[in-house]
Amino acid sequence: MGVSYRSLRVWQRNRDVVLKLWFAELAPPVLGPIMVITALGLGLGVFVELDGEQDYIEFLTPGLLALFPMLWAMLDCGWGAYGRMNMQGIYDAVVATPLNVEDVIAGEIFWGATRGAFQALHILIAALLFTPAYGLIDSPLVILVLPFSLLYGMLFGAMAMSYTSVAPSMSSYNFLWAFVINPMFWFGGAFYPTDRLPPWAETLAQFVPLTHVVEINRGLVEGELQWSHLGNLAVIVALTAAFFSLALWSMRRRLVK
Partner 1 sequence: MTEIVRARGLVKRFDGLLAVDGIDFSIREGECFGLLGPNGAGKTSTIRMITCVSPVTAGQLRVNGMDVTTDRRRIKATLGVVPQDENLDPDLSVAQNLAVYARYFDIPAAVARARSDEILELFQLTEKRDETVDNLSGGMKRRLIVARALINEPKILVLDEPTTGLDPQARHLVWRKLRKLREQGITTLLTTHYMEEAAHLCDRLVVMHLGHILAEGSPQDLIERHVGGQVLELRIESDGDHADALAALRDRADLRLEDVDEAVYAYSTDQNWDPVMRDVASFGKAARLRESTLEDVFLQLTGRGLDE
Which of 16, 195 has the CB closer to partner 1?
A: 16
| Interaction of residue 195 with partner 1, rule CB under 8 A | no
| Interaction of residue 97 with partner 1, rule CB under 8 A | yes
| Interaction of residue 170 with partner 1, rule CB under 8 A | no
Closest CA to 93 of 179, 13, 155: 13
Among 98, 147, 223, 231, binds partner 1 (CB under 8 A): 98
| Interaction of residue 100 with partner 1, rule CB under 8 A | yes
The least CB distance from residue 9 to partner 1, in Å, is: 5
| Interaction of residue 21 with partner 1, rule CB under 8 A | yes
| Interaction of residue 201 with partner 1, rule CB under 8 A | no
Binding mask 60-89 for partner 1 (x = CB under 8 A): ----------------------------xx
* Binding segment toward partner 1, per CB under 8 A, in 5-13, 147-155, 166-174, 230-238: 5-13
Binding site for partner 1 (CB under 8 A): 1, 6, 9, 12-13, 16-17, 20-21, 88-90, 92-100, 256-257
